[in-house]
Protein backbone atom coordinates (compact mmCIF):
# COMPACT_ATOMS: atom_id res chain seq x y z
CA UNK A 1 0.00 0.00 0.00
CA UNK A 2 1.39 3.38 -0.99
CA UNK A 3 0.27 6.18 1.35
CA UNK A 4 0.06 9.34 -0.74
CA UNK A 5 0.16 11.84 2.11
CA UNK A 6 2.23 13.18 5.00
CA UNK A 7 2.03 14.00 8.71
CA UNK A 8 -0.27 12.38 11.23
CA UNK A 9 -2.69 10.94 8.67
CA UNK A 10 0.10 9.17 6.77
CA UNK A 11 1.27 7.67 10.07
CA UNK A 12 -2.33 6.67 10.92
CA UNK A 13 -2.78 4.84 7.60
CA UNK A 14 0.62 3.15 7.89
CA UNK A 15 -0.36 1.77 11.30
CA UNK A 16 -3.64 0.42 9.90
CA UNK A 17 -1.70 -1.27 7.10
CA UNK A 18 0.63 -2.91 9.61
CA UNK A 19 -2.33 -4.07 11.70
CA UNK A 20 -3.60 -5.91 8.61
CA UNK A 21 -0.20 -7.31 7.65
CA UNK A 22 0.27 -5.01 4.66
CA UNK A 23 3.56 -3.42 3.64
CA UNK A 24 3.26 0.36 3.80
CA UNK A 25 5.20 2.56 1.39
CA UNK A 26 5.65 6.25 2.22
CA UNK A 27 6.43 9.20 -0.02
CA UNK A 28 8.02 12.43 1.14
CA UNK A 29 8.95 15.89 -0.06
CA UNK A 30 12.37 17.42 0.53
CA UNK A 31 11.31 19.03 3.83
CA UNK A 32 9.72 15.80 5.14
CA UNK A 33 12.83 13.64 4.83
CA UNK A 34 13.01 13.12 8.62
CA UNK A 35 9.24 12.93 9.25
CA UNK A 36 7.79 10.20 11.44
CA UNK A 37 5.70 8.70 8.65
CA UNK A 38 8.91 8.15 6.68
CA UNK A 39 10.50 6.32 9.62
CA UNK A 40 7.39 4.21 10.28
CA UNK A 41 6.96 2.94 6.71
CA UNK A 42 8.53 -0.23 5.33
CA UNK A 43 10.06 1.83 2.53
CA UNK A 44 9.98 5.51 1.55
CA UNK A 45 10.55 7.36 -1.71
CA UNK A 46 11.30 11.03 -2.38
CA UNK A 47 8.83 12.74 -4.70
CA UNK A 48 10.05 16.32 -5.04
CA UNK A 49 10.36 19.78 -3.56
CA UNK A 50 8.34 21.14 -0.65
CA UNK A 51 5.73 22.91 -2.78
CA UNK A 52 2.67 20.58 -2.94
CA UNK A 53 2.44 20.83 -6.74
CA UNK A 54 5.96 19.41 -6.93
CA UNK A 55 5.36 16.56 -4.50
CA UNK A 56 2.09 15.55 -2.81
CA UNK A 57 -0.03 16.93 -5.67
CA UNK A 58 2.15 15.41 -8.37
CA UNK A 59 -0.17 12.56 -9.34
CA UNK A 60 2.02 11.16 -12.11
CA UNK A 61 5.07 10.92 -9.85
CA UNK A 62 3.11 9.26 -7.04
CA UNK A 63 1.70 6.62 -9.40
CA UNK A 64 5.17 6.07 -10.86
CA UNK A 65 6.56 5.43 -7.35
CA UNK A 66 3.68 3.05 -6.55
CA UNK A 67 4.46 0.98 -9.63
CA UNK A 68 8.21 1.04 -8.96
CA UNK A 69 7.58 -0.13 -5.37
CA UNK A 70 5.26 -2.88 -6.67
CA UNK A 71 2.29 -1.60 -4.70
CA UNK A 72 -1.20 -2.98 -5.13
CA UNK A 73 -3.08 0.10 -3.96
CA UNK A 74 -2.86 3.79 -3.02
CA UNK A 75 -4.48 5.42 0.01
CA UNK A 76 -4.70 9.22 -0.40
CA UNK A 77 -5.44 10.16 3.24
CA UNK A 78 -7.24 13.51 3.36
CA UNK A 79 -6.45 16.75 1.55
CA UNK A 80 -4.03 16.82 -1.38
CA UNK A 81 -5.31 14.29 -3.99
CA UNK A 82 -7.93 12.58 -1.83
CA UNK A 83 -10.91 14.16 -3.62
CA UNK A 84 -9.36 14.43 -7.07
CA UNK A 85 -11.46 12.31 -9.41
CA UNK A 86 -8.82 12.43 -12.15
CA UNK A 87 -6.23 10.99 -9.74
CA UNK A 88 -8.62 8.26 -8.59
CA UNK A 89 -9.20 7.26 -12.22
CA UNK A 90 -5.50 7.43 -13.05
CA UNK A 91 -4.73 5.06 -10.17
CA UNK A 92 -7.23 2.52 -11.53
CA UNK A 93 -5.98 2.99 -15.10
CA UNK A 94 -2.47 2.17 -13.83
CA UNK A 95 -3.75 -1.20 -12.60
CA UNK A 96 -3.84 -0.18 -8.92
CA UNK A 97 -6.64 0.01 -6.36
CA UNK A 98 -7.73 3.44 -5.16
CA UNK A 99 -8.71 3.36 -1.47
CA UNK A 100 -11.71 5.64 -1.54
CA UNK A 101 -14.83 6.34 -3.58
CA UNK A 102 -14.42 5.71 -7.33
CA UNK A 103 -13.91 8.58 -9.75
CA UNK A 104 -17.54 8.58 -10.92
CA UNK A 105 -18.76 9.12 -7.34
CA UNK A 106 -16.20 11.83 -6.70
CA UNK A 107 -17.25 13.66 -9.85
CA UNK A 108 -20.93 13.40 -8.96
CA UNK A 109 -20.59 14.57 -5.36
CA UNK A 110 -17.47 16.72 -5.62
CA UNK A 111 -19.29 19.39 -7.58
CA UNK A 112 -21.36 20.94 -4.81
CA UNK A 113 -24.34 22.12 -6.82
CA UNK A 114 -24.68 18.67 -8.42
CA UNK A 115 -24.61 17.14 -4.94
CA UNK A 116 -27.35 19.56 -3.84
CA UNK A 117 -29.50 18.45 -6.77
CA UNK A 118 -28.96 14.80 -5.87
CA UNK A 119 -29.98 15.49 -2.27
CA UNK A 120 -33.21 17.11 -3.41
CA UNK A 121 -33.99 14.05 -5.58
CA UNK A 122 -33.94 11.82 -2.48
CA UNK A 123 -36.03 14.26 -0.40
CA UNK A 124 -33.21 15.62 1.76
CA UNK A 125 -33.75 19.30 2.69
CA UNK A 126 -31.30 21.73 1.04
CA UNK A 127 -30.78 25.39 1.96
CA UNK A 128 -31.90 27.94 -0.61
CA UNK A 129 -29.13 28.56 -3.12
CA UNK A 130 -28.04 28.80 -6.73
CA UNK A 131 -26.32 26.90 -9.50
CA UNK A 132 -22.72 27.96 -10.39
CA UNK A 133 -22.69 31.69 -11.15
CA UNK A 134 -21.19 33.17 -14.30
CA UNK A 135 -20.15 36.61 -12.97
CA UNK A 136 -20.40 39.03 -10.05
CA UNK A 137 -23.49 40.78 -11.45
CA UNK A 138 -25.48 37.55 -11.57
CA UNK A 139 -24.23 36.67 -8.11
CA UNK A 140 -25.28 40.01 -6.64
CA UNK A 141 -28.72 39.71 -8.20
CA UNK A 142 -29.11 36.23 -6.69
CA UNK A 143 -27.96 37.48 -3.27
CA UNK A 144 -30.57 40.24 -3.31
CA UNK A 145 -33.24 37.71 -4.23
CA UNK A 146 -32.22 35.21 -1.50
CA UNK A 147 -31.63 37.95 1.07
CA UNK A 148 -28.52 38.72 3.10
CA UNK A 149 -26.51 37.26 4.74
CA UNK A 150 -25.38 34.74 2.14
CA UNK A 151 -22.44 32.40 1.70
CA UNK A 152 -20.24 32.46 -1.39
CA UNK A 153 -18.87 28.94 -1.85
CA UNK A 154 -16.64 27.16 -4.40
CA UNK A 155 -18.59 24.75 -6.56
CA UNK A 156 -15.67 22.30 -6.45
CA UNK A 157 -13.55 21.63 -3.37
CA UNK A 158 -14.03 21.87 0.36
CA UNK A 159 -12.18 22.31 3.63
CA UNK A 160 -13.53 25.83 4.08
CA UNK A 161 -11.25 27.31 1.42
CA UNK A 162 -12.75 29.97 -0.82
CA UNK A 163 -15.83 30.53 1.35
CA UNK A 164 -16.98 34.04 2.20
CA UNK A 165 -19.89 35.31 4.30
CA UNK A 166 -21.46 38.40 2.73
CA UNK A 167 -23.66 40.42 5.04
CA UNK A 168 -24.53 43.38 2.82
CA UNK A 169 -24.57 44.45 -0.82
CA UNK A 170 -21.66 46.92 -0.56
CA UNK A 171 -19.32 44.12 0.53
CA UNK A 172 -20.15 41.85 -2.38
CA UNK A 173 -17.46 42.85 -4.90
CA UNK A 174 -14.61 42.38 -2.45
CA UNK A 175 -16.01 39.04 -1.25
CA UNK A 176 -16.41 37.83 -4.84
CA UNK A 177 -12.80 38.73 -5.72
CA UNK A 178 -11.45 37.07 -2.58
CA UNK A 179 -13.50 33.89 -2.95
CA UNK A 180 -12.72 33.56 -6.67
CA UNK A 181 -8.99 33.99 -6.11
CA UNK A 182 -8.84 31.52 -3.23
CA UNK A 183 -10.97 28.93 -5.02
CA UNK A 184 -8.77 29.16 -8.11
CA UNK A 185 -5.60 28.75 -6.05
CA UNK A 186 -6.96 25.87 -3.98
CA UNK A 187 -8.97 23.91 -6.54
CA UNK A 188 -7.90 25.20 -9.94
CA UNK A 189 -11.40 26.48 -10.75
CA UNK A 190 -13.06 29.82 -9.88
CA UNK A 191 -16.68 28.62 -10.09
CA UNK A 192 -18.78 29.85 -7.16
CA UNK A 193 -22.36 29.46 -6.03
CA UNK A 194 -24.51 31.16 -3.39
CA UNK A 195 -26.26 29.67 -0.39
CA UNK A 196 -28.47 31.27 2.24
CA UNK A 197 -26.60 31.55 5.53
CA UNK A 198 -28.38 29.84 8.40
CA UNK A 199 -28.14 31.91 11.58
CA UNK A 200 -26.77 30.27 14.73
CA UNK A 201 -26.29 27.01 12.83
CA UNK A 202 -24.62 23.88 14.09
CA UNK A 203 -22.38 21.94 11.74
CA UNK A 204 -23.30 18.26 12.12
CA UNK A 205 -21.78 15.53 9.98
CA UNK A 206 -22.65 11.86 9.60
CA UNK A 207 -19.98 9.20 9.04
CA UNK A 208 -20.96 6.57 6.48
CA UNK A 209 -19.42 3.35 5.17
CA UNK A 210 -20.45 1.58 1.97
CA UNK A 211 -19.17 -1.67 0.51
CA UNK A 212 -19.01 -2.82 -3.09
CA UNK A 213 -22.13 -4.97 -2.67
CA UNK A 214 -24.43 -1.99 -2.15
CA UNK A 215 -24.70 -2.00 1.65
CA UNK A 216 -24.51 1.46 3.26
CA UNK A 217 -24.47 2.16 7.02
CA UNK A 218 -24.10 5.25 9.18
CA UNK A 219 -21.86 5.14 12.24
CA UNK A 220 -23.02 8.26 14.06
CA UNK A 221 -22.76 12.02 14.00
CA UNK A 222 -20.02 14.48 14.92
CA UNK A 223 -20.65 18.09 15.95
CA UNK A 224 -17.99 20.18 14.19
CA UNK A 225 -19.39 23.64 14.88
CA UNK A 226 -16.31 25.08 16.61
CA UNK A 227 -14.28 26.31 13.65
CA UNK A 228 -12.28 29.24 12.34
CA UNK A 229 -12.24 30.30 8.68
CA UNK A 230 -14.80 27.50 8.13
CA UNK A 231 -12.17 24.96 9.23
CA UNK A 232 -12.76 22.84 12.31
CA UNK A 233 -10.97 23.08 15.66
CA UNK A 234 -13.03 20.88 18.00
CA UNK A 235 -15.31 17.94 17.17
CA UNK A 236 -17.37 15.72 19.41
CA UNK A 237 -19.69 12.75 19.30
CA UNK A 238 -22.48 12.42 20.13
CA UNK A 239 -23.48 15.98 19.32
CA UNK A 240 -24.73 17.61 22.54
CA UNK A 241 -27.75 19.08 20.73
CA UNK A 242 -28.63 15.98 18.69
CA UNK A 243 -31.64 13.98 19.87
CA UNK A 244 -32.14 10.31 19.02
CA UNK A 245 -34.88 11.34 16.61
CA UNK A 246 -32.67 13.86 14.79
CA UNK A 247 -29.78 11.37 14.72
CA UNK A 248 -31.95 8.77 13.01
CA UNK A 249 -33.17 11.34 10.46
CA UNK A 250 -29.63 12.48 9.66
CA UNK A 251 -28.45 8.89 9.32
CA UNK A 252 -31.32 7.98 7.02
CA UNK A 253 -30.73 11.08 4.89
CA UNK A 254 -27.01 10.30 4.59
CA UNK A 255 -27.76 6.72 3.50
CA UNK A 256 -30.29 7.86 0.87
CA UNK A 257 -27.72 10.23 -0.65
CA UNK A 258 -24.99 7.57 -0.63
CA UNK A 259 -27.24 4.92 -2.18
CA UNK A 260 -28.38 7.28 -4.93
CA UNK A 261 -24.74 8.13 -5.73
CA UNK A 262 -23.64 4.48 -5.77
CA UNK A 263 -21.19 5.26 -2.99
CA UNK A 264 -18.33 2.90 -2.07
CA UNK A 265 -15.86 3.20 0.85
CA UNK A 266 -15.83 5.81 3.66
CA UNK A 267 -17.37 9.25 3.47
CA UNK A 268 -19.06 11.99 5.43
CA UNK A 269 -22.38 13.67 4.71
CA UNK A 270 -22.51 17.14 6.23
CA UNK A 271 -25.53 19.11 7.41
CA UNK A 272 -26.37 22.46 8.99
CA UNK A 273 -28.90 22.31 11.82
CA UNK A 274 -30.73 25.48 12.85
CA UNK A 275 -31.87 26.56 16.31
CA UNK A 276 -35.20 24.76 15.83
CA UNK A 277 -33.54 21.43 15.03
CA UNK A 278 -34.35 21.63 11.31
CA UNK A 279 -31.50 20.41 9.09
CA UNK A 280 -30.27 21.15 5.58
CA UNK A 281 -27.82 19.19 3.45
CA UNK A 282 -24.43 20.89 3.11
CA UNK A 283 -22.06 18.62 1.15
CA UNK A 284 -20.45 15.19 0.96
CA UNK A 285 -16.76 14.74 1.72
CA UNK A 286 -15.72 11.80 -0.42
CA UNK A 287 -12.72 10.85 1.72
CA UNK A 288 -11.54 10.02 5.20
CA UNK A 289 -12.16 12.96 7.53
CA UNK A 290 -9.59 14.52 9.87
CA UNK A 291 -11.95 13.87 12.78
CA UNK A 292 -12.62 10.18 12.11
CA UNK A 293 -10.99 9.16 15.47
CA UNK A 294 -13.98 10.62 17.33
CA UNK A 295 -16.24 8.06 15.67
CA UNK A 296 -13.70 5.29 16.12
CA UNK A 297 -13.43 5.64 19.89
CA UNK A 298 -17.21 5.85 20.33
CA UNK A 299 -18.01 2.85 18.10
CA UNK A 300 -14.88 0.76 18.66
CA UNK A 301 -14.50 0.44 14.87
CA UNK A 302 -11.31 1.07 12.90
CA UNK A 303 -12.54 3.21 10.01
CA UNK A 304 -9.21 3.12 8.15
CA UNK A 305 -8.93 -0.67 8.38
CA UNK A 306 -12.50 -0.91 7.11
CA UNK A 307 -11.55 1.36 4.20
CA UNK A 308 -8.76 -1.04 3.31
CA UNK A 309 -10.98 -4.11 3.59
CA UNK A 310 -13.70 -2.54 1.43
CA UNK A 311 -11.09 -1.55 -1.17
CA UNK A 312 -10.00 -5.21 -1.16
CA UNK A 313 -13.51 -6.29 -2.09
CA UNK A 314 -14.72 -7.42 1.33
CA UNK A 315 -18.33 -6.77 2.40
CA UNK A 316 -19.12 -4.76 5.52
CA UNK A 317 -18.90 -7.22 8.43
CA UNK A 318 -21.90 -5.79 10.30
CA UNK A 319 -25.41 -4.48 9.73
CA UNK A 320 -26.81 -1.10 10.78
CA UNK A 321 -28.50 -2.51 13.89
CA UNK A 322 -25.23 -4.08 15.06
CA UNK A 323 -23.41 -0.74 15.38
CA UNK A 324 -23.17 0.26 19.03
CA UNK A 325 -22.11 3.72 20.15
CA UNK A 326 -20.77 3.98 23.69
CA UNK A 327 -19.86 7.03 25.75
CA UNK A 328 -18.70 10.38 24.41
CA UNK A 329 -15.59 11.59 22.63
CA UNK A 330 -14.02 14.98 21.93
CA UNK A 331 -11.21 15.83 19.52
CA UNK A 332 -9.04 18.97 19.65
CA UNK A 333 -7.00 19.76 16.55
CA UNK A 334 -3.68 21.19 17.69
CA UNK A 335 -2.45 23.51 14.96
CA UNK A 336 0.63 25.66 14.40
CA UNK A 337 -1.35 28.88 14.75
CA UNK A 338 -1.49 31.80 17.16
CA UNK A 339 -5.08 31.98 18.48
CA UNK A 340 -4.48 35.43 20.01
CA UNK A 341 -3.47 36.82 16.61
CA UNK A 342 -6.44 35.62 14.57
CA UNK A 343 -5.12 32.06 14.26
CA UNK A 344 -2.22 33.21 12.13
CA UNK A 345 -0.29 30.17 10.82
CA UNK A 346 3.27 29.70 12.06
CA UNK A 347 6.31 27.72 10.98
CA UNK A 348 9.66 27.00 12.56
CA UNK A 349 11.45 24.51 14.75
CA UNK A 350 9.70 22.51 17.47
CA UNK A 351 12.09 22.66 20.42
CA UNK A 352 10.16 20.38 22.75
CA UNK A 353 7.13 18.08 22.60
CA UNK A 354 5.42 16.41 25.52
CA UNK A 355 2.26 14.55 24.59
CA UNK A 356 -0.43 13.58 27.12
CA UNK A 357 -1.43 10.07 28.06
CA UNK A 358 -3.56 8.27 30.62
CA UNK A 359 -7.07 6.79 30.71
CA UNK A 360 -9.30 7.65 27.77
CA UNK A 361 -6.68 9.64 25.83
CA UNK A 362 -5.59 8.98 22.25
CA UNK A 363 -3.02 11.05 20.35
CA UNK A 364 -2.83 11.07 16.54
CA UNK A 365 0.37 13.00 15.94
CA UNK A 366 3.52 13.21 13.87
CA UNK A 367 5.23 15.61 16.28
CA UNK A 368 8.74 15.14 17.65
CA UNK A 369 11.25 17.41 19.35
CA UNK A 370 13.53 19.06 16.82
CA UNK A 371 11.15 18.73 13.87
CA UNK A 372 10.78 21.56 11.39
CA UNK A 373 7.22 22.76 10.74
CA UNK A 374 7.18 23.92 7.11
CA UNK A 375 5.06 26.78 5.83
CA UNK A 376 4.00 24.95 2.66
CA UNK A 377 1.35 22.70 4.24
CA UNK A 378 -1.70 22.76 6.46
CA UNK A 379 -1.02 23.89 10.03
CA UNK A 380 -2.34 20.71 11.70
CA UNK A 381 0.24 19.24 14.10
CA UNK A 382 -1.65 16.70 16.20
CA UNK A 383 -5.08 15.57 17.33
CA UNK A 384 -5.91 14.96 20.99
CA UNK A 385 -8.91 12.67 21.46
CA UNK A 386 -10.56 12.11 24.83
CA UNK A 387 -13.18 9.42 25.51
CA UNK A 388 -15.40 9.17 28.58
CA UNK A 389 -18.38 7.14 29.68
CA UNK A 390 -20.35 10.39 29.28
CA UNK A 391 -19.68 13.93 28.04
CA UNK A 392 -18.75 15.22 31.49
CA UNK A 393 -16.01 12.61 31.88
CA UNK A 394 -14.74 13.24 28.33
CA UNK A 395 -14.47 16.98 29.06
CA UNK A 396 -12.58 16.32 32.29
CA UNK A 397 -10.12 14.02 30.55
CA UNK A 398 -9.60 16.47 27.70
CA UNK A 399 -8.89 19.31 30.13
CA UNK A 400 -6.27 17.17 31.84
CA UNK A 401 -4.71 16.13 28.52
CA UNK A 402 -4.48 19.70 27.26
CA UNK A 403 -2.78 20.80 30.48
CA UNK A 404 -0.26 17.96 30.16
CA UNK A 405 0.58 18.72 26.54
CA UNK A 406 3.58 20.91 25.74
CA UNK A 407 4.75 22.10 22.32
CA UNK A 408 7.58 24.64 22.58
CA UNK A 409 9.29 26.67 19.89
CA UNK A 410 6.29 27.73 17.79
CA UNK A 411 2.84 29.16 18.60
CA UNK A 412 0.05 26.59 18.76
CA UNK A 413 -3.71 26.56 19.27
CA UNK A 414 -3.34 24.98 22.73
CA UNK A 415 -4.25 28.23 24.60
CA UNK A 416 -7.52 28.40 22.67
CA UNK A 417 -8.39 24.77 23.35
CA UNK A 418 -7.62 25.09 27.05
CA UNK A 419 -9.88 28.14 27.27
CA UNK A 420 -12.66 26.63 25.13
CA UNK A 421 -13.00 23.55 27.36
CA UNK A 422 -13.86 25.87 30.28
CA UNK A 423 -16.16 28.17 28.29
CA UNK A 424 -19.78 28.08 29.45
CA UNK A 425 -21.07 27.82 25.87
CA UNK A 426 -19.03 24.67 25.39
CA UNK A 427 -19.75 23.19 28.81
CA UNK A 428 -23.49 23.54 28.30
CA UNK A 429 -23.28 22.31 24.71
CA UNK A 430 -25.03 25.42 23.39
CA UNK A 431 -22.36 26.57 20.95
CA UNK A 432 -22.69 27.10 17.19
CA UNK A 433 -20.50 28.00 14.21
CA UNK A 434 -19.97 31.54 15.55
CA UNK A 435 -18.34 30.31 18.78
CA UNK A 436 -14.77 31.28 17.80
CA UNK A 437 -15.80 34.78 16.69
CA UNK A 438 -17.51 35.39 20.03
CA UNK A 439 -14.52 33.95 21.92
CA UNK A 440 -12.12 36.23 20.01
CA UNK A 441 -14.31 39.26 20.73
CA UNK A 442 -14.31 38.46 24.44
CA UNK A 443 -10.52 38.08 24.45
CA UNK A 444 -10.09 41.44 22.71
CA UNK A 445 -12.47 43.13 25.14
CA UNK A 446 -10.50 41.73 28.08
CA UNK A 447 -7.35 43.54 26.99
CA UNK A 448 -7.51 46.81 28.91
CA UNK A 449 -4.59 49.25 28.61
CA UNK A 450 -2.75 47.58 31.46
CA UNK A 451 -3.33 44.02 30.32
CA UNK A 452 -2.52 44.98 26.72
CA UNK A 453 0.86 46.28 27.86
CA UNK A 454 1.44 43.12 29.87
CA UNK A 455 0.46 41.01 26.88
CA UNK A 456 2.86 42.92 24.63
CA UNK A 457 5.68 42.38 27.13
CA UNK A 458 4.81 38.68 27.39
CA UNK A 459 4.88 38.39 23.60
CA UNK A 460 8.36 39.93 23.45
CA UNK A 461 9.62 37.60 26.18
CA UNK A 462 8.02 34.60 24.49
CA UNK A 463 9.69 35.51 21.21
CA UNK A 464 13.06 35.81 22.97
CA UNK A 465 12.43 32.47 24.63
CA UNK A 466 11.61 30.84 21.28
CA UNK A 467 14.80 32.24 19.76
CA UNK A 468 16.86 30.88 22.62
CA UNK A 469 15.21 27.46 22.37
CA UNK A 470 15.87 27.31 18.63
CA UNK A 471 19.53 28.09 19.23
CA UNK A 472 19.64 25.34 21.87
CA UNK A 473 17.97 22.85 19.55
CA UNK A 474 20.49 23.62 16.81
CA UNK A 475 23.41 22.95 19.14
CA UNK A 476 24.58 19.36 19.23
CA UNK A 477 27.18 19.32 22.00
CA UNK A 478 26.79 16.91 24.97
CA UNK A 479 25.65 19.67 27.35
CA UNK A 480 22.85 20.72 24.96
CA UNK A 481 21.71 17.13 24.51
CA UNK A 482 21.69 16.61 28.27
CA UNK A 483 19.65 19.78 28.70
CA UNK A 484 17.05 18.67 26.20
CA UNK A 485 16.82 15.26 27.84
CA UNK A 486 16.34 16.92 31.22
CA UNK A 487 13.58 19.11 29.79
CA UNK A 488 11.81 16.03 28.44
CA UNK A 489 11.84 14.52 31.94
Please tell me which residue in 287, 333, 466, 469 is annotated as part of the active site: 287
Distance (Å) of CA 166 to CA 119, 140, 171, 182, 226: 25, 10, 6, 16, 20
- CB distance 108 to 119 below 8 Å: no
Output phi, psi for 172, to 5 deg: -70, -45
CA end-to-end span of the chain:
37
Helix (H, G, I), strand (E, B) or coil at 29: strand
Four-CA torsion 59, 291, 119, 98, nearest 10 degrees: 30
Q: How far apart are CA 22 and CA 70, in angstroms?
A: 13
Active site residue 287: yes
Distance (Å) of CA 183 to CA 159, 306, 457: 11, 32, 39
DSSP code of 57? Answer: T
Distance (Å) of CA 239 to CA 203, 227, 243, 390: 10, 15, 8, 12
Output phi, psi for 213, to 5 deg: -100, 5
Q: Which DSSP string corresponds to 183-236?
A: HHHHHS---EEEEEPPTT-EEEEEEEEE-TTS-EEEEEEEEEEEEETTEEEEEE
DSSP code of 82? Answer: T
- Lay out the sheet containing 380-388: strands in order across: 279-285, 265-273, 202-210, 216-228, 231-237, 328-335, 380-388, 361-365
Helix (H, G, I), strand (E, B) or coil at 340: helix
Q: How far apart are CA 346 and CA 353, in angstroms?
A: 16
Contacts of 161 (CB under 8 A, 6+ apart): 154, 182, 183, 186, 187, 230
Q: How far apart are CA 224 and CA 421, in angstroms?
A: 14
Residue positions annotated with a catalytic role? 287
Amino acid sequence: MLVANRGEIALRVIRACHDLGLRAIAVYSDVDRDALHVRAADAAYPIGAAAPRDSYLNAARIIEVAKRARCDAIHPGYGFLSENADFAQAVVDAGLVFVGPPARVQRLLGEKTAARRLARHVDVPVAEGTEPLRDVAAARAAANEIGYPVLLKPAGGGGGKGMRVVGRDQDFDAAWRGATGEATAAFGAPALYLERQIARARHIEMQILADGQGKVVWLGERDCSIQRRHQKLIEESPGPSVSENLRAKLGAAAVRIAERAGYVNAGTVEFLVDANGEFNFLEVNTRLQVEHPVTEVVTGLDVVALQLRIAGGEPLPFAQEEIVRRGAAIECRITAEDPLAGFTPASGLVALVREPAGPGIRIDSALFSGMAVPSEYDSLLAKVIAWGSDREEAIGRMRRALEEMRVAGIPTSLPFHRAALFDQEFITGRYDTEFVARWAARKTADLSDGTAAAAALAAVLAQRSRTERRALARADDPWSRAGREDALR
